Amino acid sequence: GAGVSQTPSNKVTEKGKYVELRCDPISGHTALYWYRQSLGQGPEFLIYFQGTGAADDSGLPNDRFFAVRPEGSVSTLKIQRTERGDSAVYLCASSLIGGTGGWTEAFFGQGTRLTVV
Amino acid sequence: QKEVEQDPGPLSVPEGAIVSLNCTYSNSAFQYFMWYRQYSRKGPELLMYTYSSGNKEDGRFTAQVDKSSKYISLFIRDSQPSDSATYLCAASSGNTPLVFGKGTRLSVIA
């Protein structure tokens, strides 16, 4: 597709369950970002990949959150033992290059709305 | 204190009004400043991008950055109902991910 694709669009899960959120970046984009947006707030950075490696994971709130990008394209954000406070929209973005000075536009997906009940 | 502060509003204006949206930031390393527009239940989309201090104009939109006062502004002229959205300011030092403000919710009333 032409844009960043995130699946599922909506996810409702019970407290304590495990969830996986998927992001398909724009083809050829080497940088991939995960953000979390709570109601009435701006996106908050979680983790940034350059290729297959996590270049910066300083935004992950705790060790229940983990993300992978094994082939340098699709990324999966994994949340273990979900809590009600994890409810938010999880946004993925990709850019042609990232880090190493300068700036290139980051294109966002439509997000996955996670609700933990 | 958050690195990027933005008044969340909401802001309601009549069609045709000039809209002024503002942010302040605290990190002197920020060099790149952006405004994103986010419609309800959609991802943010880049509206304007400015490097360092100065003005940038694109149609009805003007972005201003004053690094001496750490102040970022977006002006919308002849506002339209289709401009109704949440506007997010963001900043980066260039080798760091974007840091966003809370967003200002704008309604333009026909």
Res. B6: pLDDT tops 80: yes
pLDDT tens per residue across span A17-27: 999 999 999 99
Cα-based distances in Å from A89 to A43, A102, B9, B14: 9, 28, 20, 30
Interval B19-30 mean pLDDT: 95
Q: Which residues of chain A neighbour B43 with C-beta distances below 8 Å?
A: 4, 91, 93, 108-111
- Residue that is written with structure tokens 């009333």 in the block: B109
- Residue that is written with structure tokens 């699946």 in the block: A7
Q: CB of B24 within 8 A of CB of B102?
A: no
Q: Which residues of chain A neighbour B46 with C-beta distances below 8 Å?
A: 105-107
> Which pLDDT value is given to residue A47?
96
Cβ–Cβ contact A104 with B under 8 A: no
Res. B109: pLDDT tops 60: yes
What's the DSSP call for residue B9? -
pLDDT tens per residue across span A100-117: 556 778 899 999 999 999
Do B94 and A103 make contact, defined as CB atoms within 8 angstroms? yes
The DSSP bridge pattern shows strands B54-58 and B61-66 to be antiparallel
Do A103 and B96 make contact, defined as CB atoms within 8 angstroms? no
Q: Which residues of chain A neighbour B96 with C-beta distances below 8 Å?
A: 56, 99
Do A108 and B44 make contact, defined as CB atoms within 8 angstroms? yes
**A16: alpha, beta or left, given left = phi > 0 and alpha = psi -120 to 50?**
left
Res. A37: pLDDT tops 80: yes
E strand segments, chain B:
4-6, 11-14, 19-25, 32-38, 45-51, 54-58, 61-66, 71-76, 85-92, 99-100, 104-109
How far does B9 lie from chain A, in Å, by closest CA?
10
Cβ–Cβ contact B45 with A under 8 A: yes
pLDDT tens per residue across span A66-92: 999 999 999 999 999 999 999 999 999
> Which pLDDT value is given to residue A5?
97
> Which pLDDT value is given to residue B7?
87
Q: What's the mean pLDDT when you consider all of chain A? A: 93
pLDDT tens per residue across span B49-84: 898 888 999 999 999 999 999 999 999 999 999 999
Full DSSP string of A38-104: -TTS--EEEEEEETTEEEE-TT--STTEEEE-TTSS-EEEEE-S--GGG-EEEEEEEESS-SSSS--
pLDDT tens per residue across span A50-60: 999 988 999 99
Cβ–Cβ contact B71 with A under 8 A: no
Q: Extract the tokens encoding A3.
A: 């844009």
Res. A1: pLDDT tops 70: no
The DSSP bridge pattern shows strands B104-109 and B61-66 to be unpaired
Three-class SS of residue B53? coil
> Which pLDDT value is given to residue A101?
52
Q: Extract the tokens encoding B23.
A: 């942010």
> Which pLDDT value is given to residue B97?
86
